[in-house]
Amino acid sequence: MNIFRLLEERDKELELILDSIQDAITIVDKYGITKYWNNAAVKMYGIKKEDIIGRHIKDFFPSSLLPRIIKEEKSYENIYNSPRENSFNIISASPLYYNGQLVGGISLDRDVTDHIRTTELLNKARSNLDVLRKEVSAINKNRSSFYTILGNNLKFREAVNLARDMARSNINILIYGESGTGKELFARAIHIESGREGLYVPINCSAIPNDLMESELFGYAGGAFTGALKEGKTGKIELAHKGTLFLDEIGDLPLHMQPKILRVLEDGMVTKIGSAKSIKVNIRVIAATNKNLEEMVEKGTFRKDLYYRLNSVVINLPPLRERRDDIPLLANRFVQDYCMEYGLNILNISPQVMDAFIQHDWQGNVRELNNVIERMVVIAKNNKLTTLDINTLPENIVVRRKTAVEETHNKENPYDLNNILFNAERDAVINAMKMANNNKSKAAKLLNIPRSTLYFKLKKYGI
């Protein structure tokens, strides 16, 4: 007995339940043949049950998501979809299994056609974002704040796990990472996970002029100086009471401000400019930088005592070029997000583009990848494309031509361990040559192999 025979045998009870649901429900077998079509689907699409049951779903909906989820054996949740012209909905679809075997797929469609047509007259993009926020809010309501941080790379997961483990403590945290690696994303997640009842207050130490830094951090009393507000001003540190103060780019904090921050960390007291009264604050400090603070300590440009106050826990975020295995995951998520924002069906990424993504150095890290994806999605929308191909790539991202050796290996079993090791070694050689600016002696030292072995591998991989 399979699931569809079960539907037939218990059709009265199941139909009564499924037909009472207001969202359209569609069930197909593994070949895409429609097996169930509830009353809400009849009403939503104007297609009778007897007309569609037994027919392939693509006969009625050429861009249906169901064949895709069956092929990929992957679920999609709350995806903006246009199954046919002038029809818009939010769809969730999942493959169906029976006794461990794939037997078909099920989709649940929520009609938003009228909503989309109305909002297009006002502001289509903004309304799409409102829909997205509501859906994501419902999905993520009870999920961890770290759920939004994507990455399966081992070093990156170690950083996530350390941040999660430390979140509930009051320990100060120092986050190291290049620009665009997600330092503030981690800081926000730590604050949310911490359960602290106060605010998350970020301040970029490199973006505030030196002469305004003290008033921004500590605030001032009314009439403290010429141009000061009569009622005074509350500083960022006081705003963060019972919450988290995020000091971004802490390496750019002026030297004269560092002992004042140290005092706050040591005794929890804040004194506004022009005031003789100190205020007790309870804050948790998370600092972030892309500079080497130890070197700055040695040079005397950063206070040693402040450094050791901040680095109780150090979290190192690897740059994107050191977690290339995460690039497909991140790229596909960004494509989904921007397709939702710009009102598009989910676009595919061509293999050539994905290979170019993986080979690119990404000096701007995840932020750069995000920006590139948005640019490509907009180009695809304007040109009515269904795939992000090489024509949508920015000029600075080069599509590398595969060698004959690579083409041969790509045709082999993708799960073959020898093939995986082959590709890993080839990528290591390519990256070492890039780091050494094509100096073979330096590349051989980086790889810890004799130069003669490097020559052999260069020839082997056609590099």
Give me the domain span that covers residue 244. 148-316
Decide which of 316, 335, 351 is a domain's last residue.
316
Q: Can you give the pLDDT at residue 398? A: 77
Q: Can you give the pLDDT at residue 229? A: 67
- Domains of the chain: total: 5
Residue 435: pLDDT band (50, 70, 90) is confident
Helix axes 258-267, 210-218, angle to 10 degrees: 20
Domain assignment present for residue 203? The answer is yes
Decide which of 58, 92, 111 is a domain's last residue.
111
- Cβ atoms < 10 Å from Cβ of 191: 24
Q: Can you give the pLDDT at residue 23? A: 86
User: What 3-state class would DSSP assign to 335?
Assistant: helix
Q: What is the dihedral of CA 146, 150, 153, 155, to 10 degrees?
A: -40
- pLDDT greater than 50 at residue 246: yes
Report the CATH number at residue 171.
3.40.50.300
Instruction: Give 274-304 pLDDT, tens digit per residue.
Output: 887 888 999 999 999 999 999 999 999 999 9
Does residue 242 come out as left (phi exceeding 0), alpha (psi in the -120 to 50 range) or beta? left
Domain assignment present for residue 184? The answer is yes
Query: In sequence order, which residues have a C-beta less than 8 Å from that of residue 109 and are 6 or more positions away?
Result: 23, 24, 25, 26, 41, 44, 81, 83, 89, 90, 91
Among candidate residues 334, 284, 329, the one with its CA nearest the CA of residue 309: 284
Among candidate residues 94, 37, 90, 30, the one with its CA nearest the CA of residue 60: 37
Between 12 and 447, the higher pLDDT residue: 447
Q: Can you give the pLDDT at residue 20? A: 81
Q: Which has the minimum average pLDDT: 90-99, 144-153, 252-261, 355-364?
A: 144-153
Q: Phi first, then psi: what are they for 55, rounded to 5°?
A: -105, 155
- pLDDT greater than 70 at residue 157: yes
Domain check: are 311 and 425 in the same one? no
- pLDDT greater than 50 at residue 141: no
